[in-house]
Structure 1
């Protein structure tokens, strides 16, 4: 086992950049929302929220491949086979680029149908099409950029992931200000700002791998569908966690429209931004520990694997409490970034539902890290149970029950109840995985020969 000091150092080295990168991703959408709200209006803010499920789906696809690839690549590096790791890295990059091109074409050809499916109303349709139609042009940069960002950590350069996303974030903020407030380009300007920022982050990461500074390089490879299948199977749990955000927003939007009314979509937009920031923090912790756990699992060092897990769980516990307290104390200030307090009724309503919703922050992190840890030790089925449970099945059923019992108020407590239910199963699964590591670590590691 590595000594505790070295493990803590590695934990910080990987988790801090990972969380920072996820925060920056959250801030992309949040900054768009703030500038659109101030520069265009509340209906435009609702339109950006309506478009969010599509963006989350794109991001989820990138996670599907990048999480699976980083697990396989990290395990392969742990076994000392750098050449094979580079082949897997190159294969993954080519595959996501091809998928990106296909998605772009299909999305542009079905823009109207896509907007309707996402829930665009008569008053928001124009805004949704302007925002979404522009974002689609940059799909390839969204997907490939994040994939390279995750794999640059496996290459031993987690700090570069932070640098890349900060460059992108600053670009996004500056261009949002110019395009939306100064040039009055509206929601389309916000979308262009985000897209251009993604182009820059892609360029930064791509140049790193071209320079061949690390262990991972672009090399010749065989188009091995068995490896692609394994990448996908490993990435499904984290993919489910992210795609759940798209599904939940879509279901919540429809429920709000039917049970409360269109005006509540504006309040829910604010809730979504804060929820995304907290959830991606938990995902950042989860993804930060994954390459380390995978590496030590590949080396059959069970003590180090469990030590990293415990560090992750402790960090999540602290982060959950802090997130909850920040929302409870500063709810008014948070809401004021998006909604003017001139509209007292809307402002107070949003503050109240944000505080109620924040109860979920106390629980969700444990579930996310449990799923991510299962991925890192190649327990995809266990991870999938947690992710699918919290992401789609349990939340959907809980939402229906809460609405039947409490009407519109039930919408805002459904997430908390859902996460609690999943927590029971996640706790049992984590115990099983710990026991399995202690007894059989190394016996079931599946790597391509």
Structure 2
């Protein structure tokens, strides 16, 4: 409850700074992970593998889009209810949000698996890069629930005022991913499959971390068994709030897919791989904007 009182009474500028710093650190570490991941794949597997992973980027954006749809929608609604001091409704909201995260992630996993070949071809895979992209996607899809639940609930952690814990979540996931990337790619010679396994294990660690948080003492609200299920009124509110960022993310996915197709036409597989590297580096330049957005959520 201390977090709620602080959000009600503290100076807005000081609050923004307090929430901005951990958000920025978390985003910075995550951006570094993305760059290191590309370096490991490029050096440990090869240029074609890097291009294959870049083909998957629009698919990853779609998965993250569903995480934003539910995570931001749930987080904002939780914040509103906490502002009203309605803890019971906030806990019902996270219960519905969690149920939605699981159901949607399983649905996305199944549909993407059934349509993976046309999806990969439409997003720019070629005969040279298809196997790399397919191997990576097959493994990543198995971890879709980990990714959506972990990413979404971390948004809720931030929305209840626990910015430092949300930061630790991002750091824990990124460091786990980098360490396992190195071991699987360079020590076990697992190639892109190793990179994919590293990612889903890191997402699993993130999911367990955030679930433990919402069952522990530090959380303002609890994820209780009695609240797990779909409340249709809450669901509609979650979707209406999260729809705008979801639509932007999906649009970005299709833009990247079209860009990949044009890069294949005019530059070949190496151009797609180079664009993947550029996208990773670009995250460094938008960190402050992303962190400000995160800091404003509570």
Specify if TM > 0.5: yes
Secondary structure of residue in 2 paired with 1:213: coil
Question: Which residue does the alignment assign to 1:273?
Answer: 280
Stretch of structure 1 that moved more, 93-102 or 10-19: 10-19
Contact kept? 1:156, 1:214, Cα under 8 Å = no
Say if 2:233 is the partner of 1:226.
yes
Aligned residue number for residue 296 of structure 2:
289
Instruction: Quote how far apart the aligned CAs of 1:149 are.
Output: 0.6
Q: How far apart in 1 are the matches of 2:125 and 2:140?
A: 16
Contact 1:86 1:215 in 2 (8 A): no
**SS class of match (1:156):** coil
- Partners of 1:269 and 1:5 in 2: how far apart? 42
- 1:9 is matched with 14
- TM-score of the aligned structures, taking structure 1 as reference length: 0.61
How far is the alpha carbon of 1:45 from its aligned partner?
Answer: 0.8
Given that 1:23 and 1:281 are in contact with CA atoms closer than 8 Å, whether structure 2 keeps it comes out as no
Checking the alignment, whether the CA contact within 8 Å between 2:44 and 2:186 is kept in structure 1 is yes
Task: Give the counterpart of 1:264 among 271, 277, 282.
Answer: 271
Secondary structure at the counterpart of residue 275 of structure 1: helix
> Within the alignment, does 1:194 sit opposite 2:204 as a pair?
no
What's 2:38 paired with?
33
> What corresponds to 1:352 in structure 2?
none
Deviations 1:345-376 (A, max 9, x none): xxxxxxxxxxxxxxxxxxxxxxxxxxxxxxxx
Residues 72-104 of structure 1, C-alpha deviations (whole Å, 9 max, x = no match): 111111111111111111110111111111222
Q: Which runs of 5+ in 1 are unaligned?
A: 292-449
| Equivalences for residues 276-355 of structure 1 within 5 A | 276-279=283-286, 281-291=288-298
Aligned partners of 2:288, 2:196: CA distance in 1, in Å? 23
Computing the radius of gyration from Cα coordinates, the structure with the larger value is: 1
Partner of 1:217: 222
Task: Name the Cα RMSD after superposition.
Answer: 2.1
TM-score between the two structures when normalised by the length of structure 2: 0.90
Quick one: distance in 1 between partners of 2:259 and 2:27?
Answer: 23
Deviations along 1:403-446, whole A, 9 cap, x unmatched? xxxxxxxxxxxxxxxxxxxxxxxxxxxxxxxxxxxxxxxxxxxx
Is the 2:135–2:193 Cα contact (8 Å) retained in structure 1? yes
Structure 2 equivalent of residue 42 of structure 1: 47
Whether the 8 Å contact between 2:158 and 2:297 is mirrored in structure 1 is no
For residues 149-186 of structure 1, give each alpha carbon's deviation from its aligned partner in whole angstroms, at most 9, with x where no partner exists: 11112222111111122111111111111111111110
The C-alpha deviation readout for 1:173-222, integer Å capped at 9, x for no partner, is 11111111111110110111111111111111110111243321123346
Partner of 1:58: 63
Q: What is the alpha-carbon distance in structure 2 between the residues aligned to residue 135 and residue 27 of structure 1?
A: 20
Report the CA distance between 1:119 and its aligned residue.
Answer: 1.5
The structure 1 segments of at least 4 consecutive aligned residues displaced by more than 6 Å after TM superposition are 2-5
The verdict on how the C-alpha distance between 1:151 and 1:11 changes in structure 2, with shifts beyond 3 A counting, is: same
Measured against aligned partners, the alpha-carbon deviations of 1:45-80 in whole angstroms (never above 9, x if no partner) come to 111111111111101110111111111111111111
